C-alpha cells in the first residue's frame, strides 16, 4: 500500500479556453465577482498569477471565464458596477444634504 503525502495539493483547473474577464484588487473582490457570475450561470474560475513589472514581481488575481462567455460576463460586471455607483451616489447625496435647522423650528 502506498503512502500519500501529507502535503496539501491544490487542484489545478484546466484554463485552456478561459480568458480574463476582470482583475480583482483582492481575494474578497474576486469572490464577489465569482458569486455574481455564478448567479448569472456563467462558468468562472479565479486564478492568481505572478507578473513582472519593472523588475518587481506582482501578484494579480484574475477572474476568468470561457471565451464564449466573455461578452456576457462584461455586461454582468459592468451592470453591477453601474448599480453600485448609482447607490453610492444616492447615499452620498443624502449624507451631504444641508438642512437648515430653522426649518424644523416651531414658530407658534
Q: Which domains does the chain have, with CATH numbers?
A: 18-97 (3.30.70)
Kindly tell me if the per-residue pLDDT of 89 is higher than 70: no
Q: Kindly state the average pLDDT of the residues 27-46.
A: 94
Asked if pLDDT for residue 6 goes beyond 60, the answer is no
The whole-model pTM stands at 0.62
Question: Mean of the per-residue pLDDT values for the chain?
Answer: 76
By C-alpha distance, which of 55, 21, 53 is closest to 38? 21
Please state the rounded mean pLDDT for residues 33-49: 93
What is the CB neighbour count within 10 angstroms for residue 34?
Answer: 18
Task: Provide the 8-state DSSP code for 67.
Answer: G
Amino acid at each position: 500500500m502506498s503512502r500519500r503525502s501529507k502535503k496539501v495539493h491544490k487542484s489545478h483547473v484546466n484554463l485552456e479556453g478561459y480568458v480574463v474577464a476582470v482583475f480583482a484588487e483582492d481575494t474578497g473582490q474576486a469572490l464577489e465577482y465569482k458569486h455574481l457570475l455564478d448567479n448569472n450561470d456563467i462558468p468562472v474560475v479565479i486564478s492568481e498569477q505572478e507578473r513582472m513589472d519593472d523588475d518587481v514581481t506582482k501578484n494579480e488575481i484574475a477572474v476568468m471565464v470561457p471565451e464564449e462567455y466573455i461578452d456576457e460576463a462584461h455586461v454582468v460586471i459592468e451592470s453591477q458596477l453601474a448599480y453600485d455607483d448609482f447607490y453610492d451616489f444616492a447615499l452620498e447625496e443624502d449624507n451631504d444634504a444641508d438642512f437648515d435647522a430653522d426649518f424644523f423650528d416651531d414658530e407658534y
